[in-house]
Amino acid sequence: MTTVRRSDATRAAILEAARERFASDGYERATIRAIARDAGIDPSMVMRYYGNKEGLFAAASEVEIGLPELGALPARHIGAVLVTHFLERWERDEVLTAMLRVGVTNEAGAARMQAIFAQQLGPVTRGVCPDPEDAPRRAALVASQILGMALTRYVLRLPPAVAMSTEEIVAWLGPTVQRYLTAEAP
Amino acid sequence: MTTVRRSDATRAAILEAARERFASDGYERATIRAIARDAGIDPSMVMRYYGNKEGLFAAASEVEIGLPELGALPARHIGAVLVTHFLERWERDEVLTAMLRVGVTNEAGAARMQAIFAQQLGPVTRGVCPDPEDAPRRAALVASQILGMALTRYVLRLPPAVAMSTEEIVAWLGPTVQRYLTAEAP
DNA sequence: CATGTTGGTCAACGCTTGTTGGCAACGTTA
DNA sequence: TAACGTTGCCAACAAGCGTTGACCAACATG
């Protein structure tokens, strides 16, 4: 029942500009004025449509990770599948990069990143790891490796991390994630 | 031959307050005024002693990692030794957390973090990994896991990552780092 | 035609930021 | 005592920020 408003194009332009700015500048340096300039409209429009800067970020970081079919997969390859999926998702657009950058200096951003990973990674680990009780710990280990690669590759841009192909990364990180999920506790 | 100035205590207080603020707030939100307030002096003193905000950060992020004796170690345990050493270094003070936080939103901070890791991790990988040619790639992999754990544990503070003991972390990450350094390329 | 709603600009507000220069107090040295 | 460099505070500056409210044009509806 959502009718098409005449301002939908503007709203979308604002959101796109916001995602770019948040991804490349972080929360504080991504100013509403700059976002509005990128979108080709007046800063006050941003306020009208998204209330304030926090609301804008909340809208810009609305994200569906879309985890793959977990149960239907061969449990032996789940590590590689997870790494592949996250790399693809990370390179599709800038939303996750924005969330990572913002999450480091902004409380709301950190909470959002935390929620997404818990929500998406939690079920996978619970279904796969040997002892369901330390599923959270294993999820955190997996997150540390995946976020660490995202950090070095997409944010800090360490040259060797940028130069690697996704296949290489999967070949190296896949077994790590696999072990964090399924190996006996050391 | 460096004479003791009467203002050395003030300089040190400024530096300590700056490290704390940069570590907990990141570059933009760590204001000179707040740092001066913490140090109990006037903001203009910060300018006099460190020139400007960038100079203050440069001084506050002067860091020696102090890598352990690389050659004298059993090559089989180098993974665990590295993880242990970085965890200890990370928890000794807030400098590395500050650099990580700042490196995410600030170009100079990213460069600094990059330099430190290249400088400290480079020699170790070159001496240990099978093919010296892809030492940089292996160093980047190690950095991705170590920085990823630092990110989830000290910056994002994912509860399970915070709750783990250092021994647990070493037991989980040690083999990962070991493999990144010494295993045949997959 | 008149009227209300929507999409948009403009100018300003109050506030905080990094940064600067003047000025007073102190310690040292001549 | 007199001159001087050091240490510190105070007050202000220009710029940039998020945010607000008045106002205008276009459109839809009666």
Residues B31 and B80 in one domain: no
Span CA (B40) to C1' (D10), Å: 15
Which residue would you say has higher pLDDT here, A110 or B75? A110
One domain for residues A111 and A44: no
Nearest to B104 among A26, A168, A179 (CB): A26
Q: Are residues A115 and A41 in the same domain?
A: no
Let me know if residue B70 belongs to a domain: no
Exposure string for A152-186, b = 16+ CB within 10 A, e = fewer? bbbbbebebbeebeeeebbebbbbbbbbbbbeeee
The whole-angstrom distance between residue B63's C-alpha and the CA centroid of its chain comes to 8
What CATH number does residue A54 fall under?
A: 1.10.10.60
- Residue A111 maps to a domain: yes
pLDDT tens per residue across span B77-93: 999 999 999 999 999 99
**CATH code, A99:** 1.10.357
Nucleotide with the nearest C1' to B44 CA: C19
Q: Are residues B50 and B80 in the same domain?
A: no
Rounded CA gap, A147 and B154, in Å?
13
Same domain, A31 and A113: no
**pLDDT tens, residue by residue, A83-141:** 999 999 999 999 999 999 999 999 889 998 988 888 888 888 888 888 889 999 999 99
Q: Would B114 be classed as within a structural domain?
A: yes
Q: Are residues B164 and B127 in the same domain?
A: yes
A156 in the same domain as A128: yes
Query: Which of A83, A86, A126, A141 to probe the B interface (max B CBs under 10 A)?
Result: A141
- What is the CB neighbour count within 10 angstroms for residue B100? 23
> Which of A106, A126, A156 best probes binding to B when mutated, by most B CB atoms within 10 angstroms?
A156
pLDDT category, B76, cuts 50, 70, 90? confident
Query: Do A87 and A159 fall into the same domain?
Result: yes
Q: A2 lies in a domain?
A: no
Task: Identify the contact set of chain A against chain B, taking CB-CB distances under 8 A.
Answer: 25-26, 28-29, 100-101, 103-105, 110, 113-114, 117, 136-137, 139-141, 143-149, 151-153, 155-161, 163-164, 168, 171-172, 175-176, 179-180, 186
